[in-house]
Amino acid sequence: MDPASLPVDRRARRAKTDRIDLAALLRALMAWHRGEHQVCRMVQVPSPEQEDYRRRSRERERLVKERGPAHRPHQGPADDPGHP
Protein backbone atom coordinates (compact mmCIF):
# COMPACT_ATOMS: atom_id res chain seq x y z
CA MET A 1 0.00 0.00 0.00
CA ASP A 2 1.27 3.47 -0.88
CA PRO A 3 1.05 5.50 2.36
CA ALA A 4 1.11 8.76 0.40
CA SER A 5 -2.20 7.79 -1.24
CA LEU A 6 -4.11 7.75 2.06
CA PRO A 7 -6.41 10.74 2.54
CA VAL A 8 -5.30 13.12 5.30
CA ASP A 9 -7.09 16.17 6.63
CA ARG A 10 -4.39 18.82 6.21
CA ARG A 11 -6.24 21.39 8.33
CA ALA A 12 -6.61 19.18 11.36
CA ARG A 13 -3.85 19.62 13.88
CA ARG A 14 -3.60 16.32 15.63
CA ALA A 15 -1.01 14.15 17.21
CA LYS A 16 0.75 11.85 14.78
CA THR A 17 1.43 8.54 16.40
CA ASP A 18 2.09 5.05 15.14
CA ARG A 19 -1.21 3.92 16.68
CA ILE A 20 -3.16 6.55 14.70
CA ASP A 21 -1.25 5.72 11.53
CA LEU A 22 -1.89 2.00 12.02
CA ALA A 23 -5.62 2.60 12.48
CA ALA A 24 -5.76 4.62 9.24
CA LEU A 25 -3.81 1.95 7.35
CA LEU A 26 -6.09 -0.80 8.67
CA ARG A 27 -9.24 1.14 7.70
CA ALA A 28 -7.87 1.67 4.20
CA LEU A 29 -6.85 -1.98 3.86
CA MET A 30 -10.29 -3.20 4.98
CA ALA A 31 -11.96 -0.82 2.52
CA TRP A 32 -9.67 -2.07 -0.27
CA HIS A 33 -10.59 -5.66 0.63
CA ARG A 34 -14.30 -4.73 0.40
CA GLY A 35 -13.71 -3.53 -3.16
CA GLU A 36 -13.34 0.20 -2.52
CA HIS A 37 -10.22 0.60 -4.65
CA GLN A 38 -10.39 4.41 -4.67
CA VAL A 39 -9.36 4.67 -0.99
CA CYS A 40 -5.67 4.04 -1.67
CA ARG A 41 -3.16 2.73 -4.21
CA MET A 42 -1.40 -0.57 -4.00
CA VAL A 43 2.29 -0.65 -4.87
CA GLN A 44 3.76 -3.51 -6.86
CA VAL A 45 7.03 -4.68 -5.36
CA PRO A 46 9.59 -5.10 -8.15
CA SER A 47 11.08 -8.52 -8.78
CA PRO A 48 14.80 -9.01 -8.10
CA GLU A 49 15.43 -8.87 -11.87
CA GLN A 50 13.53 -5.57 -12.21
CA GLU A 51 15.40 -4.12 -9.25
CA ASP A 52 18.76 -5.17 -10.73
CA TYR A 53 17.82 -3.46 -14.01
CA ARG A 54 16.84 -0.28 -12.15
CA ARG A 55 20.05 -0.38 -10.13
CA ARG A 56 22.17 -0.46 -13.31
CA SER A 57 20.21 2.45 -14.75
CA ARG A 58 20.54 4.49 -11.54
CA GLU A 59 24.26 3.77 -11.33
CA ARG A 60 24.79 4.90 -14.93
CA GLU A 61 22.84 8.12 -14.32
CA ARG A 62 24.92 8.79 -11.19
CA LEU A 63 28.19 8.22 -13.05
CA VAL A 64 27.19 10.44 -15.98
CA LYS A 65 26.16 13.21 -13.58
CA GLU A 66 29.35 12.76 -11.57
CA ARG A 67 31.47 12.99 -14.72
CA GLY A 68 30.04 16.44 -15.33
CA PRO A 69 30.31 18.84 -18.26
CA ALA A 70 34.14 18.85 -18.29
CA HIS A 71 34.18 15.45 -19.98
CA ARG A 72 31.76 16.20 -22.81
CA PRO A 73 33.30 16.24 -26.29
CA HIS A 74 34.55 19.60 -27.51
CA GLN A 75 32.45 21.23 -30.23
CA GLY A 76 35.00 23.48 -31.91
CA PRO A 77 35.06 24.86 -35.46
CA ALA A 78 36.84 21.74 -36.78
CA ASP A 79 34.01 19.56 -35.42
CA ASP A 80 31.29 21.68 -37.06
CA PRO A 81 30.27 20.16 -40.44
CA GLY A 82 28.93 23.53 -41.66
CA HIS A 83 32.16 25.36 -40.91
CA PRO A 84 34.60 25.83 -43.87
pLDDT in tens, 32-48: 889 988 888 888 888 99
- Region 57-73: mean pLDDT is 79
CA distances to 36, 65, 82 from 28, in Å: 9, 40, 63
On whether the CB atoms of residues 40 and 32 are closer than 8 A, the answer is yes
Residue 34 is predicted with a pLDDT of 92
pLDDT surpassing 60 at residue 80: no
Better pLDDT: 68 or 75: 68
Q: What is the largest CA-CA distance in the chain?
A: 74
Share of the chain above pLDDT 90, in %: 2
Alpha helices in 1-84 (DSSP H): 18-33, 48-67
Better pLDDT: 61 or 78: 61
